């Protein structure tokens, strides 16, 4: 039978991945696996741009709403769930589309994941306490000193991944970037087609601004209040991510609504830039604009017919 075929649709945030994936998935009898590190959380819908219930009714989606906001979720668990889903879809005669902008998830799924030291909950708690004691930026500055390559790829506020990188170094004495270089991401469990959407910066900036404004109109502020009322505190990592962090500041009176939207849009543009940088370093990515849907459709069809597989 050969390797299962998987189409990956990725790209910076707000480039139109969801709309393209819905169209193609219906055309090719496929289901969608989300490769978004925030859409895994239940109750966080608007701020994560999670597919709506109507969109999920059109095409079944997987690896969304799998954990509560206070539960741990990492790339290893994503990879395991995605593998299981692809295997199940293949057995049912369905095709798999992996859709999202979390580059690490896509790399781990399509090229493997290095096996480093196992997680140490006690060490992780100690690192978290140190960050709280010394303030934002402490973990990132520490990582810059011991693993500059890893630090360059991680945002200073990405506490979960900063802790993992420091954990690997502290437990093994070897930087995580060295583990990754030795692994080489040479596994190929699937035959994959990687399509990335791209837009001119000015156009993308306008779309990001419009998306942030729409999220607020759709009820992002009430979503944060509702999740708080459910008992999920603002100290959770999910509430330090783009969109939620700005609304937390708004609700505490540290900013106005206008300032929150402006900060949200600025942070999202920075995220899009980091996503572009990550994807440019990935081999085999084919770049298209959303307007090239017919060309993308042709490439996908040829892929499923056996041409251009990897």
CATH number at residue 273: 3.40.50.300
Query: With pLDDT > 90 as the criterion, what percentage of the chain qualifies?
Result: 71
Binned at pLDDT 50, 70 and 90, residue 160 comes out as confident
> 264, 243 in Cβ contact below 8 A?
yes
| Strand, helix or coil for residue 193 | strand
Residue-wise pLDDT tens digits, 228-257: 999 999 889 899 899 999 999 999 999 999
Write out the two tokens for 260. 């929150």
> 209, 22 in Cβ contact below 8 A?
no
Enclosing domain of residue 145: 121-183
Tell whether the torsion through CA atoms of 180, 167, 102 and 82 is positive or negative: positive
Whether pLDDT at 279 is above 50: yes
> 91, 18 in Cβ contact below 8 A?
no
For residue 197, how far is the Cα from the chain centroid? 15
Single out the residue in 168, 183, 198 at which a domain terminates.
Answer: 183
Same domain flag for 218 and 294: yes
Count up the domains in the chain and report the number. Answer: 2
- For residue 152, with 0-12 CB atoms within 10 Å meaning exposed, 13-18 middle and 19 or more buried, which class applies? exposed
CA atoms within 13 A on the CB side of 103: 20
Same domain flag for 260 and 286: yes
Same domain flag for 210 and 271: yes
pTM: 0.82
Binned at pLDDT 50, 70 and 90, residue 308 comes out as very low
- CATH code of the domain covering residue 139: 1.10.20.140
Same domain flag for 27 and 175: no
For residue 33, how far is the Cα from the chain centroid? 12
127: nearest Cα among 68, 98, 168: 168
Same domain flag for 80 and 10: yes
**pLDDT score at 113:** 75
């Amino acid at each position: 039978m050969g390797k299962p075929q998987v189409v990956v649709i990725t790209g910076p945030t707000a480039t139109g991945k969801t709309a393209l994936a819905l169209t193609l998935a219906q055309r090719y009898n496929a289901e969608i696996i989300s490769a978004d590190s925030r859409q895994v959380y239940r109750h966080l819908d608007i701020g994560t741009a999670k597919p709506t219930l109507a969109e999920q009714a059109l095409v079944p989606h997987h690896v969304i709403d799998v954990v509560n906001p206070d539960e741990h979720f990492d790339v290893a668990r994503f990879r395991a769930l995605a593998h299981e889903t692809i295997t199940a879809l293949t057995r049912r005669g369905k095709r798999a589309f992996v859709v999202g902008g979390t580059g690490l998830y896509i790399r781990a799924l399509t090229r493997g994941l290095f096996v480093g030291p196992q997680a140490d909950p006690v060490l992780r708690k100690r690192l978290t306490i140190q960050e709280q004691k010394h303030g934002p930026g402490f973990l990132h500055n520490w990582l810059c000193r011991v693993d500059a390559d890893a630090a360059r790829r991680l945002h200073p506020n990405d506490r979960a991944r900063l802790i993992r990188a420091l954990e690997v170094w502290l437990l093994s004495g070897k930087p995580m970037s060295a583990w990754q270089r030795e692994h080489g991401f040479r596994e190929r469990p699937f035959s994959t087609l990687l399509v990335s959407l791209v837009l001119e910066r000015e156009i993308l900036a306008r779309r990001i601004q419009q998306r942030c404004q729409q999220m607020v109109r759709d009820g992002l502020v009430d979503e944060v209040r509702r999740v708080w009322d459910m008992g999920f505190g603002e100290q959770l990592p999910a509430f330090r991510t783009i969109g939620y962090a700005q609304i937390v500041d708004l609700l505490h009176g540290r900013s106005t609504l206008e300032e929150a939207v402006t900060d949200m849009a600025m942070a999202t543009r920075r995220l899009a830039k980091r996503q572009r940088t990550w994807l440019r370093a990935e081999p085999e990515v084919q770049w298209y604009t959303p307007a090239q849907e017919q060309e993308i459709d042709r490439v996908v069809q040829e892929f499923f017919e056996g041409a251009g597989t990897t």
